[in-house]
């Protein structure tokens, strides 16, 4: 690592904020299918001309815009991932990150105290925050392709019913039932989340929605519904501490039919908790917003074995673009 790398990382907040603000303003949409100069962009987004030009130049330097003869156009990556409504739109995740800017400003406080910078409530206390969070999860998974890859590689042959525990927008379930015609899905999550999920599924996967039951479930407090043939969890264990994850594993064991499958998708860390790097860095976000962190395979496997599961296996998703893995196990 050299000076330029260190300096680039240390100043990375500038690029992040430029993208976040441009997304919030609708700047990328103003350039959809057209080329505009800074004055026209400023009029389209309702901002100061000079300041808009500075932002557009920064986005050009980043590689999201191209500039020729004073006019700006979208680059291919921006057109693919930053236009609202597109199938691989990342903007909802970008806006979610932007909404947590103040929490990142309190990272030092959390490091000193060990306490989150906000109440770890899964963003359920305010409808706007819930919608922003759940749409962000859908946006990230769609843009990167996690759900498509998982549906293509997770063997659900013989599975008739699968539950997505804490499944948020239902993005994974929609892919599962689309790939496996005889499969029925159940989305187990908190009621405010399910209300957002129903809207997202109706918008993007109305056919799949007919084969998905939305069941209000608080896995912290409730006994899980069942029995089902498989339980899938994506990005759940990283939000909880060790004791709760052991309890979740036991609840999943009880909710599965004999021979049932549990699949846990997350950053699955090495024993030193530094690989994959994305998981080690993401654990700082988890410190700010949850009770958890990213866990190793040994830790995850320990909870599953204690609960009674057998036949544990680890499947790493290809990197890039993915940074996660799937732990699977069976109930005898």
For residue 72, give both structure tokens: 């700006």
Q: Report the C-alpha gap between 157 and 296 in whole angstroms.
A: 28
Supply the DSSP string of 152-182, one letter for each residue.
Answer: HHS--TT--EEEEET-TT-HHHHHHHHHSTT
Judged on CB neighbours under 10 Å (0-12, 13-18, 19+), 179 is middle
CATH fold label, 3-84? Arc Repressor Mutant, subunit A (1.10.10)
For residue 229, give both structure tokens: 């043939």
Judged on CB neighbours under 10 Å (0-12, 13-18, 19+), 321 is exposed
Predicted pLDDT at 53: 98
Which residues in the chain show pLDDT less than 50? none
Secondary structure letter of residue 36 according to DSSP: E
Pairing type for strands 325-330 and 256-266 reads antiparallel
Q: What is the per-residue burial (b if ≥16 Cβ within 10 Å, else e) of 128-154?
A: ebbbbbbbbbbbbbbbbebbbbbbeeb
Contacts of 175 (CB under 8 A, 6+ apart): 147, 148, 150, 151
Domain 107-330, CATH homologous superfamily name and number: Vaccinia Virus protein VP39 (3.40.50.150)
**All structural domains of the chain with their residue ranges:** 3-84, 107-330
Contacts of 127 (CB under 8 A, 6+ apart): 192
Distances (CA, A) of 284 to 50, 103, 122: 36, 11, 16
Q: What is the per-residue burial (b if ≥16 Cβ within 10 Å, else e) of 27-63?
A: bbbbbbeeebebebbbebbebeeeebbebbebbbeee
Predicted pLDDT at 73: 98
Predicted pLDDT at 277: 97
Q: Report the C-alpha gap between 276 and 134 in whole angstroms.
A: 24
Alpha helical stretches, state H, 180-331 = 191-204, 206-209, 242-255, 277-289, 297-307
The residues facing 266 across adjacent strands are: 325
Q: What is the pLDDT of residues 36-82, one digit of tens each?
A: 999 999 999 999 999 999 999 999 999 999 999 999 999 999 999 99
pTM: 0.95
Report residue 276: phi and psi, to 5°.
-70, 150
Predicted pLDDT at 291: 95
Predicted pLDDT at 180: 95
């Amino acid at each position: 690592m050299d000076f330029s790398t260190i300096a680039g990382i240390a100043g990375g907040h500038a690029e992040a904020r430029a993208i976040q603000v441009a997304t919030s303003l609708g700047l990328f949409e103003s350039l959809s299918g057209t080329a505009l100069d800074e004055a026209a962009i400023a009029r389209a987004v309702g901002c100061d001309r000079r300041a808009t030009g500075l932002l557009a130049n920064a986005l050009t330097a980043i590689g999201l815009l191209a500039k020729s003869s004073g006019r700006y156009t979208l680059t291919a990556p921006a057109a693919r991932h930053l236009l609202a409504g597109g199938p691989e739109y990342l903007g909802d995740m970008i806006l979610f990150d932007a909404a947590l800017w103040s929490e990142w400003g309190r990272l030092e406080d959390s490091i000193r105290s060990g306490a989150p910078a906000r109440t770890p409530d899964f963003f359920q206390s305010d409808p706007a925050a819930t919608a922003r969070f759940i749409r962000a999860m859908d946006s990230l998974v769609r843009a990167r392709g996690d759900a498509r890859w998982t549906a293509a590689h997770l063997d659900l042959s013989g599975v008739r019913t699968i539950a997505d525990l804490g499944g948020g927008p239902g993005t994974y379930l929609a892919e599962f039932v689309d790939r496996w015609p005889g499969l029925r899905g159940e989305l187990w999550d908190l009621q405010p989340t399910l209300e957002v999920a129903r809207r997202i599924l109706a918008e993007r996967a109305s056919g799949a929605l007919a084969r998905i039951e939305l069941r209000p479930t608080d896995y912290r407090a409730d006994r899980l519904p069942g029995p089902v043939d498989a339980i899938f969890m994506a990005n759940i264990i990283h939000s909880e501490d060790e004791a709760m994850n052991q309890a979740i594993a036991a609840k999943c064991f009880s909710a599965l039919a004999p021979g049932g499958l549990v699949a846990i998708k997350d950053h699955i860390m090495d024993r030193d908790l530094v690989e994959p790097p994305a998981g080690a860095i993401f654990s700082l976000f988890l410190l700010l917003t949850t009770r958890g962190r990213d866990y190793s395979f040994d830790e995850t496997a320990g909870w599953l074995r204690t609960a009674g599961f057998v036949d544990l296996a680890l499947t790493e998703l290809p990197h890039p673009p993915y940074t996660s893995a799937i732990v699977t196990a069976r109930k005898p």
